[in-house]
Structure 1
Amino acid sequence: MSDSVVAELTDLLALERLEDNLFRGQSRDIGTKYVFGGQVLGQALSAAQRTMTDPARDVHSLHAYFLRAGDIEHPIVYTVERTRDGGSFSTRRITAIQHGQPIFVATCSFQHRESGAEHQAAMPEVPAPETLRPGTNIPPEVIAKLPPKIQRWVTREGPFEFRHVDPRNELDPATMPPLQYVWFRLIGPVGDDIHLHQALLAYSSDFHLLGTATFPHRISYYQPGVQMASLDHALWFHRPFRADEWLLYACESPSASGGRGLARGQIFSRDGRLIASTAQEGLIRVVDRNGGKA
């Protein structure tokens, strides 16, 4: 099962080339109402990577805006603008289009590999992933009463395994500080291509990040009347890594206001190397049954 699920994701990220700078990607329903934002992030990065002629230039930063909700039932077309190819750096601008309208824009910067000064933040002290329980923290009898789409999201056998250091009941959340630690890894090996591992990390970086901003407010994505959507996303790659080995996602939210929440993340390899940093702002809105703000 793990091999087929992982292969499905790598196929999703591979994209069909339509022209030199034009690509088409399929969509996958993982239980979200619209296309999962991580899918668009991963596919956009994959499209930009396909336009690079120097295999030793790796992405070091990605900055994106989500403009419209993506339609799960239809493919997405990605156009890539080759903005600049300099002596050490290259820049690409990517636009994702559905039904004739842009739903997402991003800029990626690539750098030819080189050495330089080194320092990093320390990895938090947390339990090892093997000591933590896998899977959801929601009892099966409760899951059975959920709407089918939420059931699919909660019980999905996805390509990534997640283990929460301090899991919470997303259907009846307690008040918690806006901080969480999540171990995650791809559930099967995918070879040594660093560019694939970077696209896989872009995909997985959208899990759990914005949800951290809901922790102090006893709300979650699973609850009726809670609207959540990514507005923008930033991702910086610092050091080589493997997405099929355990990584620790340390997420925090410094602010929520105006119907928006801000979350930041640091991703560490198991041996303590800081391999990536993230930031995301998203919509967090509670509405009543008549559609008005609660």
Structure 2
Amino acid sequence: MDAQPVIEFLGDVPVLQRLPSSSIRKIAQHVVIKHFNSGENVFQEGENEGDIYFISEGEVEVSRSFHADNQDCQVFQWKKFDHFTRSEFVGQEAIIALTKLTCLMLPKKYSHLMHPESIWSQDINLETIAPVEHILSLDPLDLNTFRGITLKGAPKSDKVYGGQFMGQALSAASKTVNFLKTLHSFHAHFLLGGDVNIPIIYQVDRLRDVPNFATRRVNAVQKERIVFFLIASFHREEEGFDHQESTMPSVPDPETLMPKYGLEEGVKLPRNHPRRVEASTSTSVPWPTEIRPVDDTQSHSTHTKRSPSISYWLRAKGRLPDDQTLHRCVGAYFSDMLFIQISLNPHRREGIIPSSISLDHSMWFHRDFRADEWLLYVIDSPTAYNARGFSRGQMFNRKGELVLSAMQVGVVRALKTPSSSSTASKL
């Protein structure tokens, strides 16, 4: 079997989809094709117990005894995309080919490839891992369920940062899809504020799998309630038309711009929030993003009326793995920074404390990009009405190519005085 068909097959094996794409490619290099006739026992005497078999064609029947007298026995079947290994209880288990059977066998000495350090990297070093990769690394609980946490130092206010919800949910969705299909769009809804002190459980529904597309729904659950959900679509790369009407504005290069104090800590944190320089650990992470505003609007008072638009360069701190889906998850994570708040700009004045709450967020990914290289984020708010603001954004790479588009609607309100009872968390 040629290398590409092996990679394509392994990418459709559910248990492998949660692995880093680099691990799947390495597994494809080491699997051995095994053929069996109908009625043949898959395991022969003396074969290695640690070898892992992935069924490519055919079905097997498994009979497993629970007691030495073989009185209690369980019988079930496995088919294409299922996997199995020889049980340590060899004498009490039989795996028989029901039909002509073809398996791809991964020898025991490569079984470590099935147990990477994270869903994005086979090996990670907590001292050198990019902070945003650490934030978007989830713990697989089963094939369709993942657990994420809010790390100390990551962007947040008193609630989970919206970009974290999107980035982690998309990470979960992508780990149930053949890695040859890349995220191209999603539509998300923020239902309840997330609790930063407890894990978030991401439950993935596999809605559609066809040759070129896959669709997933992800529910983010805390305290047995859905606090956030999105529907994401994945597309296999193919030839197509190519044009771009949007033009990147002429702006200074990021190297010529200075970061604004407080901005890299995020607009949802106090302006006097201290900067921290620390190594990433299992429970903390440094601020993950470098930001270079094109103008000085962020130095204005929160009471100063200004245009509902902003442009800034941004990139992930550190180096990310060469996994395009991860870079797109990071792009989604970026996109919620200084987004719906822009619709408040024309309404800022003395005596008014502006408040915003995200309702829904949509994104479309047009071209491959690297999130650890500078991207220009151009945001404007065409309208606000009936206590809802609308913002839209475009990200360009340094070549001027439009790599993604985003839109968001949120509740925008004015709190009359600082002493007023806060309604920021009420819809």
Q: So what's the TM-score if we normalise by structure 2? A: 0.61
**Alignment partners' CA distance in 2, 1:70 and 1:57:** 30
CA contact (8 A) 2:130 2:316 kept: no
Task: Confirm or deny that 1:42 pairs with 2:167.
Answer: yes
Which deviates more, 64-73 or 284-293? 284-293
Over aligned residue pairs, what C-alpha RMSD do you find? 2.5
SS state of the match for residue 326, structure 2?
helix
Partner in structure 2 of residue 167 of structure 1: 296
Partner in structure 2 of residue 76 of structure 1: 200
CA contact (8 A) 2:344 2:354 kept: no
Partner in structure 2 of residue 265 of structure 1: 393
SS state of the match for residue 135, structure 1?
coil
Partner in structure 1 of residue 270 of structure 2: 150
**Alignment partners' CA distance in 1, 2:296 and 2:384:** 21
Rate the CA distance shift 1:208–1:194 in 2: closer, same or farther, 3 A: same
Larger Rg: 2
**Alignment partners' CA distance in 1, 2:205 and 2:349:** 40
- The unaligned stretches of length 5 or more in structure 2 are 1-125, 277-285
**Alignment partners' CA distance in 2, 1:153 and 1:87:** 49
Q: Deviations over 1:165-190 (max 9, x none)?
A: 11222544532221111100112111
Task: Confirm or deny that 1:237 pairs with 2:365.
Answer: yes
Q: Deviations over 1:33-80 (max 9, x none)?
A: 21000000000000000001x221001001000000000101100000
Task: Confirm or deny that 1:253 pairs with 2:381.
Answer: yes
Partner in structure 1 of residue 51 of structure 2: none
- The unaligned stretches of length 5 or more in structure 1 are 144-148
Higher RCO structure (Cα 8 Å, ≥6 apart): 1
Partner in structure 1 of residue 144 of structure 2: 21
Q: Deviations over 1:111-166 (max 9, x none)?
A: 0101211111111111111121113279xxxx9xxxxx615757466111111111
* Aligned-pair CA distance for 1:27: 1.1
Which deviates more, 119-128 or 35-44? 119-128
Task: Confirm or deny that 1:128 pairs with 2:256.
Answer: no
What letter is aligned with 2:160? Answer: V
CA contact (8 A) 2:132 2:316 kept: no
Rate the CA distance shift 1:290–1:179 in 2: closer, same or farther, 3 A: closer
SS state of the match for residue 248, structure 2?
coil
SS state of the match for residue 150, structure 1?
coil
SS state of the match for residue 200, structure 1?
helix
**Alignment partners' CA distance in 1, 2:306 and 2:128:** 33
CA contact (8 A) 2:131 2:318 kept: no
Equivalent pairs counted in the alignment come to 280
What letter is aligned with 2:150? Answer: S
**Alignment partners' CA distance in 2, 1:154 and 1:61:** 35
Partner in structure 1 of residue 325 of structure 2: 195
**Alignment partners' CA distance in 2, 1:56 and 1:255:** 38
Rate the CA distance shift 1:219–1:67 in 2: closer, same or farther, 3 A: farther
Partner in structure 1 of residue 334 of structure 2: 204
**Alignment partners' CA distance in 1, 2:420 and 2:128:** 39
**Alignment partners' CA distance in 2, 1:72 and 1:137:** 21
What letter is aligned with 2:162? Answer: G
CA contact (8 A) 1:85 1:91 kept: yes
Partner in structure 2 of residue 146 of structure 1: none
**Alignment partners' CA distance in 2, 1:192 and 1:70:** 30
